[in-house]
Amino acid sequence: MNGENNYRDDDGTQASLKLIFETGGDFNAFAGSESNEEKFSETTQGNKNIELIHSNMQKKLVPEIGMEFETEEEAFKFYNAYAYGVGFSIRRSKFHKEKCGKLRDRLFVCSAEGKREKNKCDGSVKSHRAETRFGCLARMKISCRLNDKYCVTEFVPEHTHVTSSPCKTHFFRSHRNMSLAQIVEADMADSSGIAPKATLELLSRQAGGRQNLGFIPVDYKNYLRSKRTREMRVGDTGGLLEYLQQMQLNDPNFFYAIQVDEDDMITNIFWADARMMVDYDYFGDVVCFDTTYRKNKEGRPFAMFVGVNNHRQTVVFGAALLYAETADTFIWLFDTFVKAMSGKKPISILTDQDAAMAKALLSEWPETCHRLCIWHIYQNAAKHLSNAFEKFKNFTKDFGRCIYDYEDEDDFINAWNNMLEKYNLKDNDWLRRLFNIKEQWALVYGRQTFCADITTTQRSESMNSALKKYVSYKYDLLRFFQHFQRLVEDRRYQELKAEFRASQSSPALSFPVEILKHASNIYTPEVFKLFQDELCKAHDCVLKFNGEIGSISKYEVIPHKKYWHHTVTFDSIDNTRWTKNIKAKSTKSTCNVSSENDSKVEIVRRYRELCRLHTQLATRASESKDAYETAILGLNNTLRDVDACLKKKASQEPTQVISKTTSASKLNEYICIDDDIIKVRGIKTKTKVVGNSKRPKNALEKLTKKKKPRNKEECALLEQEPDSHNETIHMPTQSQATMDIS
């Protein structure tokens, strides 16, 4: 358009409302005051009503014959803004093009124009959709036959149907459009796990009401659906690789590995970011490892390596999505985990009683102490010894004493044999096999190995339980990865809170003695509580110094009224593990990150800084022609200088031989495995999970749950049974199973 009527919308944000916002965001520019809304509200009084509406609108907002527009899109946006004020919707209709392909003319019509065409299937349709076309003749036509600009050659303002009031106009299709800013906010909300309803509520409040939002709930649902459809077109393979590569771009130390089968299909995926590697470097002496199901749409087993930090919080060292729980899978996973952690293996690892895991650990980590989760031992006992638990009241107590109580190996073996004799279990095959691996579960064999006060995989179980709040079994692999990251970030924020409390508060002392004062200053509050309890128990023990070799000091600790003793070893060199400032004082590198990774970090930092400056330059230089030409000239000169600098550097450096092993982040669909470049054809799929994501009941829960009678006859039989058959079986809870006798 010419003069004051030339409205552009270069940023693409809700163009149909731009003219309204230019009037101060007030609909009265179109419709007058709210008290006069009835003057232009839903009515069909033709010319008289249209003239009244036009009289309450600014003249420049009403189409006129002879108005000119630079493009067809400008004309559409102008007419759509006019339609918003009057209370109707528009659509593009007939047009003509020249031989060169240029649009010659275009007709914009009211959405109620024409009549619905008859369909051959109408006779078989039980319920027809509501009629929305009433033969309305309101229109605006533009043409560029006279010059290069599009000129309004026809304008019909009268309608043959009911128009809408401003508070309802936002329901019309041509006035519904998500702006770029709203799309960004919606994507952030979706990636944060916020429900669509809550997202719409937030955006509506920001816009000052739903009528000002610019779209309706169904538009948002359609956007999310189309977004996921686009992700599906990319495919699980492309989307997953793109996500992993993006993570590595954001974090150059991000590590991931992919295993493929003989058909080049992805079977197993492992990943760990730089923070996980750092945490493992500090707290990776003890690792809990467990797998869980029903966390993604394909039902793949999900595994996590977790541990405990100096605040006694659970930290994630790495995660994996597996295809199957076989020994070969675990061998690959444990080997890959150690490679990611610069060769460091844990002192001890806790797992469930899985034969495939045990075989893989013996093969890959033979020097690591493999302990079995005591809670899983109880689960399996409830399954294989259900008759003993039901028949004998004291069996639970005697079985638990064999696990926890004994300090001497001979005492443990005698107690075990007595239990078998007492309950007639000498021929039980499961107990025989359990005794053969007694070193992995009986605490009498595990007290010499550092375990960070962990005797079960409860931390892994807790993380799996927390994961339910972030992911659904309906999620595909890409969404699973995205929402798992939310769990990791939330756990790290909890650690940040703990660090803040530790730095800004001091724990209460049981006794005002110097050793407790010193401990409260160096230990985190959670570790200080443990130290304080142990100090109190120490008063009932006899301590003997057994000598010192280098930095290693040994002590004998004899508990009150006991004939045996514990040997306590102290290393004065490594005395920072559970302190408040372990990460600040430690001189360890970030998992021995190589200089190559250091250079990657620096490259990313420089790249981001250059992008920021370039964006500022482009934004400011585009405001005028002179500024643009100055920027182009300067950039061309800069590019020549940069090329010269890089050529000079290349000539001074020795020729580098490119290894056959290529970083997976630099490949699109090629993954480096065993020093070979393998083309990935896709992700190997599993049978989809049918049902919900509820955890199956374990043996203990099934054993202790009372069955409901199915009919009256069964109720009568139960009432006649003696009380001994109705005794409740008391089994230790998981929290009780974690108890460790000091």
| DSSP per-residue letters across 636-678 | HHHHHHHHHHHHHHHHHSPPPPPPS---GGG-SSEEEETTEEE
What's the pLDDT at 599? Answer: 60
Query: Residue 345's pLDDT is what?
Result: 93
Cα–Cα distance for residue pair 321/306, rounded to 1 Å: 15
What the block records as the tokens of 485 is 């990251």
What is the pLDDT, as a whole number, of residue 633? 92
Long-range contacts of 536-540 (CB under 8 A, 24+ apart): 536/510, 537/742
The span from the CA of 417 to the CA of 433, in Å, is 14
3-state secondary structure of 67: coil
Can you tell me the distance from the alpha carbon of 521 to that of 509, in angstroms, rounded to the nearest whole number?
11
d(CA 460, CA 375): 12
pLDDT value at position 605? 67
Please choose, from the candidates 404, 366, 377, 365, the residue with its C-alpha nearest in 3D space to the C-alpha of residue 742: 404
pLDDT at 589: 43
Q: Are 258 and 266 in contact (CB under 8 A)?
A: yes
Residues in the chain, pLDDT under 70: 1-48, 120-123, 227-239, 293-299, 455-462, 464, 472-474, 574-576, 584-605, 607-608, 652-682, 686-742
Beta carbons within 8 Å of 738's beta carbon, 6+ residues apart: 374, 375, 454, 455, 456, 458
pLDDT at position 298 = 60
∠ Cα 578 581 582 (to 5°) = 55
CA triple 717-721-726, angle to 5 deg: 115
Per DSSP bridges, beta strands 682-683 and 265-272 are parallel
